Amino acid sequence: MAEPFIQSTRSIQTRLFILLLRAFTAAVLFITLFILGAMAYFLAYPSSLSPIDRIPIITRLETFYLVNQNWQGVEVLPQNDLATDYHRFWQRTLLLDEQGKVVLDHGSAKTALTGTTYTKNPDDTFLPITVQGETVANVVLGTSFLSMERQLSLDFLWPIGFISLFMAIPTVIMGLFLMRRFVTPLAEVMAAARAVASGDLSTRVHASGPDDLRALSDSFNHMAASLEQSDHERRSMLADIAHELRTPLTVMRGRLEGIVDGIYPASAEQISPALEETYLLERLVEDLRLLTLAEGRQLHFEQREVNLCDLAAHVIDLFQAEAEDKKIKLTFQHCVDAAVAILDPQRIEQVVGNLVSNALRYTPEAGQIYLTVEKADGNVILTVSDDGPGVPAEHLSSIFQRFWRGEKSRSRASGGAGLGLAIARQLVEAQGGEIHAENQAEGGLKISIQFPLKKTPT
């Protein structure tokens, strides 16, 4: 693989990797910030939904009042908690009755504040003691208690944040692995597309990754191969056209320049060769036009019932004189009954004529060309066979290509322009038929065309 392509792939891969990493990091960061924000809100704005609001002390005070219907003897509760963790809560709270008088001062009923009306501080937090729907007292949480509330909140939320961050590590690793699995093949396709766009049609990508990306890589390779083949055919066609046009133009120019310079007299004998070359050019241009229209499926076909036996006999009559001049035996060997198909008779006659003309060109003197018409599997098959030299097996698949000739050194007189079989294939396939070529065991080439038989009403 070319070094520029590798560098382009790595550059695109790096950009895609960074892009996906940013997106994934942003998602993880958003979750983390959400958790931290929830923790901050919970710590800064405690509400009645906070777990602190329902600490066991509140429940015990409500139960005490429900049983006794007053606060006499409530000091026994903090005394019972001296050896427990709840003792520190009593040390940071005040219990006020429904008139706002101090019942317990930091867990004691024997202080100077006991029995006095409590003066509220801005930093105090009041937790109501509710019994049967009525507020019978309030617990005052001082500023010293709030730090403990925050500590409890941190103790509650810290494991959640820790687990979230801990789970983010394997998630990030898995994300990196998945990004590599997706990014690498996608980057190769993008880099290859750039290379193809810049003119390197030989670029291919290695199919890897998930099934969808493999399908994308295969489709890209197929597209690149088609573009490369089309470009090669275009270049070859232009070169072949230039070659085919150059010879008659050279002959015409030399003949006309000789007449202008006085080397040749301006007689019919000297002008006729130049005129013949113009006819040749006209036929070449017409063949190219016909081939282009056929390949683009822009030809109009006037289809009707055609008896291929009658058509083959007519073509033989047209070429019989030429065959006799070359001492070649041209015969109609076999025909079946009702060999009728729905075709354009003019175009099919042109196809069969091209096949016979091609056979006459390569069949040696005293050779034989014969046509047969048969039926098989609902198709009618017309075959043109000769006993000429045939075509090398490696070239059989190429004989229907534009400007193909077995021997590039052949002159136009013996080798033709190489368009007859290409036109024949296009005209056959455009009408729903098939054309095949094969070498015969006894020697020679056999070309067959087949079309669906006309369906007869039952």
Q: What is the pLDDT of residues 61-78, one digit of tens each?
A: 888 888 888 888 888 888
Say if residue 85's pLDDT is above 80. no
Asked if residue 349 belongs to a domain, the reply is yes
pLDDT class for 157, splitting at 50, 70, 90? Answer: low
The whole-number pLDDT of residue 368 equals 92
Say if residue 168's pLDDT is above 60. yes
CA angle 294, 296, 399 (to 5 degrees): 55
pLDDT, tens digit (0-9, with 9 covering 90-100), for 242-298: 767 777 788 888 888 888 888 888 888 888 888 878 877 887 787 778 777 777 777
Asked if residue 457 belongs to a domain, the reply is no
Q: Does 344 share its domain with 366? A: yes
CATH code: domain of residue 263 = 1.10.287.130
Average pLDDT over residues 199-209: 79
Say if residue 415's pLDDT is above 50. no
Q: Domain boundary at 247, 267, 295, which?
A: 295
CATH code: domain of residue 376 = 3.30.565.10
Q: Measured between alpha carbons, how far is 63 from 447 in angstroms, rounded to an integer?
A: 108
pLDDT class for 229, splitting at 50, 70, 90? Answer: confident
Q: Measured between alpha carbons, how far is 260 from 263 in angstroms, rounded to an integer?
A: 8
Q: Under DSSP, is residue 49 helix (H, G, I), strand (E, B) or coil? A: coil
pLDDT, tens digit (0-9, with 9 covering 90-100), for 15-36: 666 766 677 677 777 777 776 6
Average pLDDT over residues 136-144: 75
Tokens of 19: 């892009």
Q: Does 137 share its domain with 273? A: no
Q: Measured between alpha carbons, how far is 201 from 206 in angstroms, rounded to an integer?
A: 15
Between 138 and 154, name the one with better pLDDT: 138
Q: Does 55 share its domain with 142? A: yes
pLDDT class for 380, splitting at 50, 70, 90? Answer: very high
Burial of 436 (0-12, 13-18, 19+ CB in 10 A): middle
How large a percentage of the chain has pLDDT more than 90?
Answer: 8
Asked if residue 361 belongs to a domain, the reply is yes
Q: Does 274 share its domain with 337? A: no
At residue 384, what is the residue type? V
Domain region containing 265: 211-295
Q: Does 282 share its domain with 316? A: no
Q: Does 17 share its domain with 144? A: yes
Q: Does 168 share its domain with 240? A: no
Q: Is the dihedral of CA 365, 333, 305, 295 positive or negative?
A: negative
pLDDT class for 51, splitting at 50, 70, 90? Answer: very low
Q: Does 37 share its domain with 156? A: yes
Q: Under DSSP, is residue 137 helix (H, G, I), strand (E, B) or coil? A: strand
The radius of gyration of the chain's CA atoms, rounded to the nearest angstrom, is 49
Asked if residue 327 belongs to a domain, the reply is yes
Q: State the CB neighbour count (10 A cutoff) for residue 120.
A: 10
Q: Does 123 share its domain with 168? A: yes
Q: Does 280 share its domain with 419? A: no
Q: Does 17 share its domain with 133? A: yes
Between 279 and 348, name the one with better pLDDT: 348
Q: Domain boundary at 277, 295, 313, which?
A: 295
Q: Domain boundary at 273, 295, 317, which?
A: 295
List the single range of 94-103, 170-179, 220-229 with lowest mean pLDDT. 170-179
C-alpha 212: how far from chain center: 8
Mean pLDDT of the chain: 78
Query: Which H/E stretch holds residue 437?
Result: strand 434-439
The whole-number pLDDT of residue 50 equals 45
Q: Measured between alpha carbons, how far is 302 from 347 in angstroms, rounded to an integer?
A: 9
Say if residue 457's pLDDT is above 60. no
Average pLDDT over residues 191-211: 80
Question: Which residue, 321, 317, 322, is CA-closest to 371?
Answer: 317
Asked if residue 311 belongs to a domain, the reply is yes
Q: Which residue has the tokens 């009618």?
A: 380
Q: Measured between alpha carbons, how far is 371 from 358 in angstroms, rounded to an integer?
A: 13
Asked if residue 73 belongs to a domain, the reply is yes
Q: Does 162 share its domain with 98? A: yes
List the single range of 153-167, 215-229, 306-320, 428-442 with lowest mean pLDDT. 153-167
pLDDT class for 6, splitting at 50, 70, 90? Answer: low
Greatest mean pLDDT among 152-161, 170-179, 346-355: 346-355
Half-sphere exposure for 333 (CA within 13 Å, toward CB): 13
Question: Strand pairing partners for 307?
Answer: 340
Q: Measured between alpha carbons, how far is 8 from 218 in angstroms, rounded to an integer?
A: 20
- When divided into structural domains, the chain yields a total of 3
Question: Which residue, 329, 338, 342, is CA-closest to 310?
Answer: 338
pLDDT class for 53, splitting at 50, 70, 90? Answer: very low
The whole-number pLDDT of residue 70 equals 87
Average pLDDT over residues 178-182: 69
At residue 219, what is the residue type? S
Say if residue 182's pLDDT is above 50. yes
Asked if residue 458 belongs to a domain, the reply is no
Asked if residue 255 belongs to a domain, the reply is yes
pLDDT, tens digit (0-9, with 9 covering 90-100), for 92-131: 788 888 888 888 888 888 888 888 888 887 777 788 888 8
The whole-number pLDDT of residue 412 equals 43
Say if residue 86's pLDDT is above 80. no
Q: Is the pTM of this model over 0.85?
A: no
